[in-house]
Chain A
Amino acid sequence: MTKTLATPSTDTSVAARPTRPGRQRPSGPASATSVAPRRRRPSLAVLGLTPFALYVLLFLAIPSVLAITTGFVDKKGIFTLENVAALFSPQILGTFLSSFWVSGVTAVVGAIVGALVCYALLGTRPDGALRSSINSASSVLAQFGGVMLAFAFIATIGVQGLITVTLQNLGVNIYADGVWLYQVPGLLLPYLYFQVPLMVITFMPALEGLKPQWAEANATLGGSRLTFWVRVAGPILAPSFFGSLLLLFANAFSSYATAAALISQGAQIVPLQIRSALISETVLGRSNMAGALALGMIVVMVVLMFGYSLLQSKTARWQR
């Protein structure tokens, strides 16, 4: 699986905004003395950003611009809206719907299961071995995908997989209704494998940010444990939960490698459709359809990230 999204920081603490001495306006005669803030010259430390900036430029900014622009030109390089209009053809819409379905199901299930894991972890010692182990494992597993993950599932629940064969010997055929692992529904289990850990690492800080004083205030005001979760913790955590859910959706929506390794025939989800368009240029008989598809994905991702940042900013304000 290719991760196109970096996991955003979920740190909700409010860091003191650094002052910018170079921008401070001297006030009064004293500013001319040695106590006046010195104008800071551009530091060489900024050079440390260069490799990352180049990387982003080459593999995110330029491809995005190319994708958008190629979506608006035809084979001869003449501007056209036909590629974009083709996004609304039944075939492409169906592909987007499949992507939405896989992303939606794995995001919702991953978010719920992940939140339950977080809740269970809340009962453990913050610096205990169990919580540290699960946090570490989640950080690794959230990035575990692609061919390795696909192979893991093929080796266990593939047609000749260990579990499949064992179950067959016990009289249970998990493929009695067809080999679903190599179809869109087959993506659900592998995707959940990285969606749940991703939920754990993104939602746990929010849960840990619940102040004990809120629970105690609820109790002294006559509230029960249930009212705390329904009237206090629930509403406070809701933006974080839905923000994480959006992140999970985006994560699944942009995943490619796991699906590519599992599904070799057909192009049931958008990233695979783009692959087809790039390889054969036969999607709807248009040469630049990949660009239009990528444009569609970018629009979806922008909407998701906008919603995510809105929810995150609300949470950050609440948990100051």
Chain B
Amino acid sequence: MAAPTSGASVELADVVKDYGTGSLALDSLSLHAQPGEFVALLGPSGCGKTTALRSVAGLESVTSGRISIDGYDVTTQPTNKRDLGMVFQSYSLFPHLDALANVEFGLRMRKVPTDERRERALESLEMVGLGGFGKRFAHQLSGGQQQRVALARALVTRPRVLLLDEPLSALDAKVRVQLREEIRRIQTELGITTLFVTHDQEEALAVADRVAVMRAGRIEQIGTPESLYTQPATTFVAEFVGLSNRLPGLVSGGFVEVYGVELPLLDPTVAKGPATVYLRPEDVEIVGCAGGAAGGAGAAGSGLLTPQIRGTVVSSSFLGSIRRSTVRLPDGELIAVQHGVSVKPASGENVSLRFTGACVSVSPREAPSSVAA
């Protein structure tokens, strides 16, 4: 096992990146990652997350602002002096070198003696589960194996900061899950500060200590995965993180009324009046379904006392451990409901719904309501 590194803090202060296209790639971006912390930068394409990561690496020069690692200003420092490890989205192994030589490359640049270099490279390959693959070239490795070697190569120099630029996006789903768990395990063991760029919310929520949701070059919200999911600060975060139903509601006196059901407000300062309410599919429950018992514990819980809403099942999908159904309400609105697989509503079946949780976000009514992914 490679020796633990001493993770360094990473700070971006009011960083601006202007490509001269009319909009800023990074718009006064500020972020502070603690030593040893795993921070995911999450956002849609073009939100600036990769630009932010590349700026930390020094692969992009910033227009203004300050980037510091471990308290030292590295804003204008060349990449090769920043002591970083980086794994790229596309496979970036040197094709003329075998896996072992690839991993040794960073040590060679640091003029580490041959014996130590070889030993540390082998250790690093062992760490990513590729102990016997040292003599293989990139074209003899699968995508997942190549990214493991790239990870070993990035970690073997014991960098202070690890930068991961969507390293899993080119892999198939199963390998992606395996590798992300390994990345998290290794990161925890080594205690290395990690910035992880992804557009996959599940990936970000699964591995990160904190997730920074980015939009238009700024951080919309940063927090633990739980807080982002349960208490999104903005409607953008509510829509981007997780699946949300957008339903019409009416705010008054500390609660919001949705189809006659009063739900508590996470933010009591929301202005009174018509609003769009964001409600998670798992906070809606089907009752009175002919295709099985009512889903969830809510059948016998507090939700039993809440008013019920009638609707007609439009579709129902089996998703392995859960089932997700879409129900049309009397006014034509569609609502997504997540429930156990034992409940099997049929298309066209009339069911009753009840809300078992709080709405995650409320915004003044603007757009027509629908189901938002």
Contacts and interface: CB of A to CB of B under 8 A. Distances in A.
Interface of A: 211, 213-214, 216-224, 227, 231-232, 235-236, 317-320
A318 B109 contact: no
B80 A219 contact: yes
A216 B88 contact: yes
Contact of B79 (A214, A220, A320): A220
Nearest to A232: B94
B57 A213 contact: no
A211 B157 CA distance: 23
Given A236-B95, A317-B139, A318-B139, A220 B105 contact: no
A152 to B, nearest CB: 41
A227 B85 CA distance: 17
Contact of A220 (B95, B139, B154): B154
Interface string B81-109: 01111101011101110000000011011
Interface string B272-292: 000000000000000000000
Interface of B: 57-59, 78-80, 82-86, 88, 90-92, 94-96, 105-106, 108-110, 139, 150, 153-154, 157, 163
Contacts of B80: 218-224
Contacts, number: 72
Given A224-B80, A320-B139, A217 B92 contact: yes
Query: Which 3 A/B pairs are nearest by Cβ-Cβ distance?
Result: A213-B92, A221-B106, A318-B95
A166 B85 CA distance: 62
A284 to B, nearest CB: 48
Contacts of A236: 94-96
B106 A235 contact: no
A236 B110 CA distance: 22
16 contacts: A213-B88, A214-B94, A216-B88, A217-B86, A219-B79, A220-B85, A221-B85, A221-B157, A222-B109, A222-B110, A227-B109, A231-B108, A232-B96, A318-B95, A319-B95, A320-B95
Contacts of B90: 211, 213
Given A213-B90, A227-B109, A221 B153 contact: yes
A232 B96 CA distance: 8
Contacts of A231: 105, 108
Contacts of A221: 80, 85, 105-106, 109, 153-154, 157
B85 to A, nearest CB: 7
Given A317-B139, A320-B139, A219 B59 contact: yes
A140 to B, nearest CB: 33
Contacts of A223: 80, 105, 109
B157 A222 contact: yes
A217 B88 contact: yes
B106 A222 contact: yes
A216 B95 contact: no
A213 B153 CA distance: 14
B209 to A, nearest CB: 23
B84 A220 contact: yes
A232 B153 CA distance: 15
A217 B165 CA distance: 12
Contacts of B139: 317-318, 320
Contacts of A217: 86, 88, 92, 94, 150, 153
A211 B92 contact: yes
A235 to B, nearest CB: 5
A249 B82 CA distance: 46
A208 B242 CA distance: 41
A236 B93 CA distance: 12
A220 B164 CA distance: 12
B109 A220 contact: no
Question: Chain A CB within 10 Å — which of B58, B85, B88 has the most?
Answer: B88
A264 B139 CA distance: 53
A113 to B, nearest CB: 25
A276 to B, nearest CB: 47
Contacts of B94: 214, 217, 232, 236
Contacts of A224: 80
B96 A220 contact: no
B110 A220 contact: no
Contacts of B92: 211, 213-214, 216-217
A217 B84 CA distance: 10
A223 B111 CA distance: 11
B230 to A, nearest CB: 36
A216 to B, nearest CB: 6
Nearest to B54: A216
A232 B110 CA distance: 16
Most buried by B among A211, A213, A220: A220
B138 to A, nearest CB: 8
B59 A216 contact: yes
A238 to B, nearest CB: 8
Given A219-B80, A227-B109, 13 more contacts: A211-B92, A216-B86, A217-B88, A219-B58, A219-B59, A220-B163, A223-B80, A223-B109, A224-B80, A318-B96, A318-B139, A320-B95, A320-B139
A223 B139 CA distance: 23
A221 B106 CA distance: 5
Contact of A235 (B88, B96, B157): B96
Contacts of B105: 218, 221, 223, 231
A223 B94 CA distance: 13
A290 to B, nearest CB: 44
A188 B109 CA distance: 42
Nearest to B156: A221
Contacts of A317: 95, 139
Nearest to B103: A221
Nearest to B105: A221
A218 B154 CA distance: 11
Contacts of A235: 96
B91 to A, nearest CB: 8
A219 B153 CA distance: 13
Contacts of A320: 95, 139
Contacts of B106: 221-222
Nearest to B94: A232
A121 to B, nearest CB: 23
Nearest to A238: B96
